[in-house]
């Protein structure tokens, strides 16, 4: 299940369309889930338990850790997980840190 602030729930097709527009896709599942169920192409994995810290990192440290440019507070970001609960939490965390 996928979450974004403007649209709480996204379909797979909506996500595909957003990815064409350079939206950062953060998968907040645990690493063992990625290993077991597979990685979503062009997503970065930041387990929910690491997300608050990751979104407050120095941009250089973020790039080193996740091999991806750190999003600015106004960059479009989509969170996903297995059932939708964690992606909604991730959205709340990001918004509480000032991400729009």
Known catalytic residues are: 81
DSSP for the chain, please give it.
-EE-SSSSS--HHHHHHHHHTT-EEEE-S-HHHHHHH-PPTTEEE--HHHHHHHTTS-HHHHHHHHSSPPPPTTS-EEEE-SSSHHHHHHHHHHHHTT--
């Amino acid at each position: 299940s996928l979450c974004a602030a403007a649209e709480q729930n996204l379909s797979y097709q909506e996500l595909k369309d957003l990815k064409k527009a350079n939206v950062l896709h953060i998968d907040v599942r645990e690493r063992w889930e990625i290993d077991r169920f597979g990685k979503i192409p062009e997503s970065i994995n930041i387990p929910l338990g690491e997300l608050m810290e990751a979104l407050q990192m120095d941009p250089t440290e973020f790039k080193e850790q996740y091999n991806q440019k750190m999003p600015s507070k106004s960059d479009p970001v989509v969170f996903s997980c297995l059932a939708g609960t964690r992606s909604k939490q991730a959205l709340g965390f990001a918004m509480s840190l000032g991400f729009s």
